[in-house]
């Protein structure tokens, strides 16, 4: 990776676009974006925004992959030997043995080829149904289009959660932080700005480019407007794509097949000279050699490739009838041999349909004013509207609060980021009175509040009040509710510029509690998996109390829960010991999830991982069998070996039993 970076001339590729003053850069482009006809002309000239290695594979790729499988290579080697012994050396050539082996190779190849080609085509159709989109300005209007239809000169609008669809130059930004660990390995988000103070000679690597966003990275927080400067193979990701395509590690089944193949080859190489030496003194040299080769061929299981391919293909067909698509035939054995299934909580154990259940004041009493403030925050924020914001808006509409919107207008916002874990919007009412409304994690909100609002009376926050608030939050967590705190600030009429430093001395007004109920089928599925010898381990980024509540309802042992922060303090051996007796791990980062998968495999387990998010890709790749669903993001489906047509553990178990 590093070597490839050094081969690219970053200054030549991006230097001028990076350091060019914003106004000069904007003057080159239409700030209102392309028209539809301009975009179509550009796509016709430059092609779609797809990296070569990410494009769907052609049929011949699957054919040659099947043709040159491990056992087929041995049989092809035997054919070469037979051409010498049965055709070249004898006076009367014999093609019988060669024809038999060619038939076996052909049968094995076509069985594997047809099944893998069919399964991968089905997976590609699923990806097309859930195409990744981005927000652009076309014909002067904001529209969503598939990422592959992005072209040079497009104006792209970014917000928290957005995928960067191409290489972009920022022209407007608001607290924009981008995660680019895919390209640089940096775990921390990187701030991007619209104006750079860099000089050309100061640019040494892509980490120095603070006005450029790169294809394949994602927005952690903030918002921005940017212009597309490079697409497809011309992007930085496109130029280093082959260095990122390291592939999935070999499974236990693949290693087993490879080991058997190596053993056969070694045995043949040893047997041929031994048999030849033992017979050469008694027979002619040609006769002795031919006999030695015949013995070597005789010990080779010629039918094994056909048996493997036909068995795996038959299993894939049966699994497809159980709503399970197999992308890689080799994964079927690992799927059936799996003894540990690692899965997230949301959407697998739960319905993935968050509902706002409670809106409470600081004493735990229902308060419509708390819902109103949360509604204003969720409605006016322009970042990625997640399940929480949608649940707030839906509940407010049920309570007929939507008419409140007409009484306020948005002034500014301070976008969400993962370090602050909160989001603020600034609005003004009909009297032009400004108000900041902030919602976020309870701990983070408490840190910025100096007062509490109790029945309309504002008083200083005390240590006792904080402890009482934390108890209410914990009790709601134990009921399975995810808790978000809401606060406000009123004395900001004279403030013109709003940033993170404005989020202080705020007034806490209450909480909102969200419920993502467990699936009715999850409890039965867990028991069925356990009865089938598959242990379920929950790996989630959610907090421990909510996770414990859900896991107890589906009968997963929740006596012991280990947090991601605890794992970081332990050696690999210590974590392996914990894994033997712990089924729930909470508040995990993607890196911590991937580490757990790796350690489970090193301890001799066949590990499956079920995930559907961008951050699940490392774990899907590192597991013995990666399992995703048809509604997952593209990168998850690309990394997975098996795709379920329903996000249900029962569907997975049916697939395991049909393998």
Token pair listed for 453: 């609002």
Highest mean pLDDT among 67-76, 197-206, 417-426, 432-441: 432-441
**pLDDT at position 599 over 90:** yes
Residue 251: predicted pLDDT: 62
Phi, psi of 30 (to 5 degrees): -85, 110
DSSP state string for 617-654: HHHHHHSSEEEEETTS-HHHHHH-SEEESS--HHHHHH
Residue 126: predicted pLDDT: 46
Cβ atoms within 10 A of the Cβ of 655, count? 25
Residues 501 and 650: their CA atoms lie apart, in Å, by: 49
Among candidates 343, 341, 345, 362, which has minimal Cα distance to 354?
Answer: 345
Residue 576: predicted pLDDT: 93
Phi, psi of 577 (to 5 degrees): -65, -40
Residues 652 and 323: their CA atoms lie apart, in Å, by: 9
Average of per-residue pLDDT across 459-473: 90
The beta strand positions in 206-339, using DSSP E, are 212-213, 218-230, 324-326
**pLDDT at position 42 over 70:** yes
Who has greater pLDDT, 422 or 321?
422
Residue 370 near residue 362 (C-beta atoms within 8 A): no
The lowest-confidence range among 8-12, 351-355, 510-514 is: 8-12
Report the residue count for the chain.
Answer: 659
Residues 346 and 239: their CA atoms lie apart, in Å, by: 36
**pLDDT at position 163 over 50:** yes
Whether the predicted model's global pTM rises above the 0.75 cut: no
**pLDDT at position 228 over 70:** yes
Helices (H), 299-330: 304-320
Q: 């909100």: which residue's tokens? A: 445
The beta strand positions in 365-497, using DSSP E, are 409-417, 422-428, 434-440, 449-454, 457-460, 481-489
Q: What is the pLDDT of residues 88-117, one digit of tens each?
A: 777 788 888 788 878 878 877 887 777 667
Q: How far is CA 504 from CA 434, 489, 501, in A?
A: 16, 8, 7
Token pair listed for 455: 């029945």
Characterize 103-135 residue by residue with b for buried, 16 or more Cβ atoms within 10 angstroms of its Cβ, and e for exposed.
Answer: ebbeebbebbbebbbbbbebbeebbeeeeebbe
Q: What is the pLDDT of residues 505-528, one digit of tens each?
A: 999 999 999 888 888 788 888 888
Cβ atoms within 10 A of the Cβ of 205, count? 12
Provide the pLDDT confidence category of residue 244 given band limits of 50, 70 and 90: very low
Q: Would strands 434-440 and 481-489 be described as parallel, antiparallel, or unpaired?
A: antiparallel
Element (H, E) at 19: helix 16-19
Residue 657 near residue 532 (C-beta atoms within 8 A): yes
Q: What order of strands is seen across the sheet that includes strand 607-610?
A: 324-326, 642-644, 625-629, 607-610, 340-343, 535-539, 584-586, 561-563
Residue 316: predicted pLDDT: 61
The lowest-confidence range among 320-334, 339-353, 386-400 is: 320-334
Cβ atoms within 10 A of the Cβ of 369, count? 15
Residue 167: predicted pLDDT: 92
Provide the pLDDT confidence category of residue 1 given band limits of 50, 70 and 90: very low
The lowest-confidence range among 3-7, 116-120, 454-458, 553-557 is: 3-7
Who has greater pLDDT, 182 or 58?
58
Angle made by CA atoms 11, 12, 18, in degrees to the nearest 5:
55
Who has greater pLDDT, 628 or 37?
37
Query: Can 531 be counted among the known catalytic residues?
Result: no
**pLDDT at position 561 over 60:** yes
Q: What percent of the chain has pLDDT over 70?
A: 79
Q: 């011949």: which residue's tokens? A: 60
Among candidates 385, 340, 343, which has minimal Cα distance to 541?
Answer: 343
Rounded CA Rg of the chain: 30
Residue 176 near residue 192 (C-beta atoms within 8 A): yes
Per annotation, catalytic residue among 167, 175, 330, 344:
344
Phi, psi of 14 (to 5 degrees): -130, -10
SS3 assignment, position 521: coil
Element (H, E) at 575: helix 572-579
Residue 309: predicted pLDDT: 60
Q: Is the dihedral of CA 635, 636, 640, 645 positive or negative?
A: negative
Q: 């080829």: which residue's tokens? A: 113
Who has greater pLDDT, 370 or 280?
370
The lowest-confidence range among 142-156, 232-246, 409-423, 497-511 is: 232-246
Token pair listed for 411: 């002034």
Q: What is the pLDDT of residues 274-287, one digit of tens each?
A: 877 888 777 777 67
- Which residues lie across from 585 on neighbouring strands? 539, 562
């Amino acid at each position: 990776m590093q070597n490839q970076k050094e081969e690219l001339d970053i200054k030549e590729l991006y230097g001028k676009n990076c350091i060019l003053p914003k106004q000069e850069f904007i003057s080159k482009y239409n700030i209102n974006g392309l028209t539809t006809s301009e975009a179509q002309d550009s796509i016709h000239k430059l092609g779609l925004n797809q990296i070569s290695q990410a494009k769907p594979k052609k049929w011949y790729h699957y054919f040659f992959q099947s043709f040159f499988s491990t056992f087929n290579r041995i049989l092809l080697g035997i054919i070469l030997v037979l051409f010498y012994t049965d055709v070249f050396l004898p006076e009367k050539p014999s093609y019988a043995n060669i024809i038999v082996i060619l038939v076996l190779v052909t049968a094995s190849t076509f069985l594997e080829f047809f099944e893998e080609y069919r399964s991968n085509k089905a997976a590609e159709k699923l990806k097309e149904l859930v195409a990744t989109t981005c927000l652009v300005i076309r014909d002067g209007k904001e529209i969503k289009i598939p990422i592959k239809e992005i072209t040079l000169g497009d104006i792209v609008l970014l917000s928290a959660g957005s995928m960067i669809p191409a290489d972009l130059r920022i022209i407007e930004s608001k607290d924009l932080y981008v995660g680019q660990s895919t390209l640089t390995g940096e775990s921390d988000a990187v701030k991007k700005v619209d104006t750079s103070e860099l000089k050309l000679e100061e640019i040494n690597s892509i980490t120095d480019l603070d006005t450029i966003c790169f294809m394949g990275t994602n927005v952690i927080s903030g918002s921005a407007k940017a212009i597309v400067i490079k697409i497809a193979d011309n992007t930085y990701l496109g130029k280093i794509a082959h260095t990122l395509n390291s592939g999935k590690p070999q499974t236990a089944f693949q290693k087993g097949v490879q080991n058997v193949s190596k053993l056969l080859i070694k045995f043949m190489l040893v047997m041929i000279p031994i048999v030849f030496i033992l017979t050469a003194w008694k027979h002619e040299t040609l006769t002795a050699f031919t006999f030695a080769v015949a013995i070597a061929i005789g010990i080779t299981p010629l039918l094994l490739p056909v048996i493997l391919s036909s068995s795996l293909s038959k299993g894939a067909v049966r699994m497809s009838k159980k709503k399970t698509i197999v992308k890689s035939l080799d994964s079927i054995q690992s799927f059936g041999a799996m003894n540990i299934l690692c899965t997230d909580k949301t959407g697998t154990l739960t319905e993935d349909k968050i509902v706002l259940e409670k809106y409470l004041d600081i004493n735990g009493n229902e308060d419509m004013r708390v819902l109103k403030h949360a509604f204003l925050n969720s409605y006016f924020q322009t970042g990625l509207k997640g399940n929480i914001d949608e649940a707030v808006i839906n509940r407010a509409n049920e309570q007929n609060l939507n008419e409140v919107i007409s009484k306020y207008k948005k002034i500014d916002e301070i976008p969400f980021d993962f370090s602050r874990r909160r989001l603020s919007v600034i609005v003004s009412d009909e009297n032009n009175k400004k108000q900041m409304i902030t919602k976020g994690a309870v701990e983070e909100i408490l840190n910025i509040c100096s007062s509490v609002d109790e029945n309309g009376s504002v008083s200083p926050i005390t240590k006792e009040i904080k402890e009482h608030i934390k108890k209410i939050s914990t009790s709601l967590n134990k009921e399975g509710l995810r808790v978000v705190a809401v606060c406000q600030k009123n004395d900001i009429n004279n403030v013109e510029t709003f940033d993170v430093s404005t989020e202080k001395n705020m007034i806490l007004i209450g909480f909102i509690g969200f419920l993502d109920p467990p699936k009715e089928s999850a409890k039965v599925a867990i028991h069925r998996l356990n009865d089938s010898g598959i242990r379920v381990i929950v790996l989630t980024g959610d907090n421990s109390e909510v996770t414990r509540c859900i896991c107890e309802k589906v009968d997963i042992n929740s006596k012991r829960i280990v947090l991601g922060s605890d794992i970081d303090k332990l050696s690999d051996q210590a974590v392996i010991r914990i894994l033997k007796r712990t089924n729930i791990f909470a508040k995990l980062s993607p890196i911590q999830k991937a580490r757990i998968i790796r350690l489970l495999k090193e301890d001799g387990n066949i590990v499956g991982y079920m995930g559907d998010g961008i951050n699940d890709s490392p774990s899907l790749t590192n597991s013995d069998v990666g399992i995703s669903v048809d509604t997952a993001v593209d990168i998850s489906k690309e990394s997975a070996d098996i795709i379920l047509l329903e996000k249900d553990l029962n569907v997975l178990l049916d697939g395991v039993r049909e393998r």
